[in-house]
Amino acid sequence: MKAMSLFACGGIGDLGLNHAGFEVVVANELLEERAEVFKFNYPKTQMITGDIWQKQQNILEQTKQALNGKQLDLVFATPPCQGMSKNGRGKLLNAIRQGLKPETDERNLLIIPTLNIFLASGAHTLVLENVPEMENTYIPNPHQDGEMIGIIDFIKQSLGDEFLSSIRVVEFADYGVPQCRQRLISIFTKHPKLKKHLQFFGSLFPDKTHSKEGKQLLPWQTVHDAIADLPTLDASQTETAKHKFIPYHSVPLLDEEKYFWVANTPKEKSAFDNQCINPDCLFDKNPTHGASVDEKGVNRYNTETPLYCMKCGHLLPRPWVKENGQYRLMKGYTSAYKRMSWDNPASTLTRNLSYACSDNKVHPEQNRVLSLYEAMILHTITDYKFFYWQRADGKKVSDKLIRELIGESIPPAGLEKIFSHLALILQDIELPTKQRLGQQELEFA
Ligand SMILES: C[S@@+](CC[C@H](N)C(=O)[O-])C[C@H]1O[C@@H](n2cnc3c(N)ncnc32)[C@H](O)[C@@H]1O
């Protein structure tokens, strides 16, 4: 089966698409350094680098040429999510009633060229991946005088009645990924087999294989399952922060203060909650840091959290700022400088995964953040033997670029399950029933 990948970045999501049996014939990505990583890994794919608005015609022409008379099956589009709104429909309608015109983030309009390309390409199925907030995002409808319309309604309106849709917020940990990552996956199709399946089963998504509770299904994969057997690292000095033989199993050094806060942080805790380390006191009931929702519904961290032990007055090893010789608690939430839990999937990996101050990114027990290699495992990239951190132009792939590519993408092993499910339906391969699938997986375990 043939596919096109829009907003392809370095092609991490495409690993899932590819391994499910879809050959990506053409891809598009705005940024050159990302496109170069894609090109190295998919040398047979025609990568078109540049702004999708300007490249629409080029993408269609190249696709036609690459297909050489064959049919394009699927378009996979993963537009940027940074502009998607957290505001609900209620807030938006309120603003419109008050005569305010809600601002539109230009990035949310990228759905327009995406649909233009999809409709002109003749593909029967469109799979979109985005943050769950996409469901609450509105754009001015270019077909109706700029009247505000929800993106999903806009897509349905643009595709027309011939298409049916199956839309779901997917928790990727439910598909066996050792990382919690929720994404809105929207499938629109006019393929008779997929439509028939959707009408009969009510969904185009495969059954979950894992669950938090682990009842009936397998339990979620944990950080321990994924990375506990890797050699120890320590971020205090260069020699211990890098493994000699395992590529990317290295971490940035923590400066003396950060190392001190992290080294005093117990398992599953944040450095913001560290207790007294004065050996003559060791008082452990100092109020911990917290947050509360204010009258406007905004989450605010406490400002009263102590930095000095309430019993002996000793400076607590909590994140501090020194100003004019005085210490004060650093501004921030307890999820910063917080150790990950061994017993849960990792929290969503972002491009900030190498910063101790990012959400839940300190190693469960060692004094350091995650190594890039561990991030690659938790993101399931290492499940795929043939993905290389190389660029087609021969330039070096920086650690920063690796973090960006991981932060921008979704774990390919989870995506592969979704695409494989579509592939099975399209190829008339009998699907296992929910019970049989659960049973089989448990037997394998
Ligand atoms: C969420 S990421 C896609 C992740 C990708 N599917 C993967 O698996 O790694 C969105 C990508 O869209 C690209 N992008 C943003 N604006 C674009 C535009 N106008 N035209 C083409 N690509 C664009 C960004 O550079 C970014 O790499």
- Ligand 1 atom, smallest distance to 51 CA: 20
Ligand 1 interacting residues, C-beta cut-off 6 A: 7-10, 12-13, 28-31, 34, 51-52, 78, 80-81, 110, 405, 408-409
Is 392 exposed, middle or buried (CB count within 10 Å of its CB: 0-12, 13-18, 19+)?
middle
* Residue written as token pair 């579509």: 422
Averages of pLDDT over runs of 10 residues in the chain (445 residues) are 98 98 98 98 98 98 96 96 62 65 76 96 96 82 83 94 96 97 96 96 96 92 98 97 96 96 96 96 92 69 87 96 92 88 96 88 96 98 96 97 96 97 88 47 37
Question: What distance in angstroms lies between residue 11's CA and the mean position of ligand 1's atoms?
Answer: 10
CA-wise closest residue to 370 among 228, 266, 257, 193: 228
Domain ranges for the chain: 2-217+410-444, 231-370
How many other C-beta atoms are found inside a 10 Å radius of the C-beta of residue 268? 15
39 Cα: distance to centroid of ligand 1 (angstroms) = 15
Residue 348 · residue 181 · CB < 8 Å? yes
Q: How far is CA 441 from CA 130, 181, 193, 208, 421, in A?
A: 29, 22, 26, 11, 16
233 CA distance to ligand 1 centroid (A)? 33
Alpha helices in 135-175 (DSSP H): 151-159
| Full-model pTM | 0.91
User: Which structure tokens are listed for 430?
Assistant: 């009998």
Other C-beta atoms within 10 Å of 201: how many? 12
pLDDT value at residue 146: 81
Residue in 437, 434, 415, 422 with CA at minimum distance from that of residue 181: 415
Residue closest via CA to ligand 1's atom 10 equals 80
Distance CA 96, CA 329 (A): 41
42's tokens: 């998919």
Torsion of CA 171, 177, 180, 186, to 10 degrees: -30
SS3 string, 262-323, reads HHCCCCCCEHHHCCCCCCCCCCCCCCCCCEEECCCCCEEECCCCCCECCCCCCECCCCEEEE
Q: Cα separation of 375 and 354, whole Å?
A: 9
Give me the CATH code for the 2-217+410-444 domain, please: 3.40.50.150
Residue with tokens 């774990």: 411
Cα 275 to Cα 305: distance, rounded to the nearest angstrom: 12
The reported pLDDT for the residue numbered 215 is 86
Choose which residue among 4, 6, 7, 48 to substitute to test ligand 1 binding: the one with the highest number of ligand atoms within 8 A of its C-beta: 7
Which atom of ligand 1 lies closest to the CA of 34? 27
Q: Specify the residue for token string 């519904």.
A: 297
pLDDT at 91: 60
**Rounded to whole angstroms, how far apart are CA atoms 168 and 205?**
8
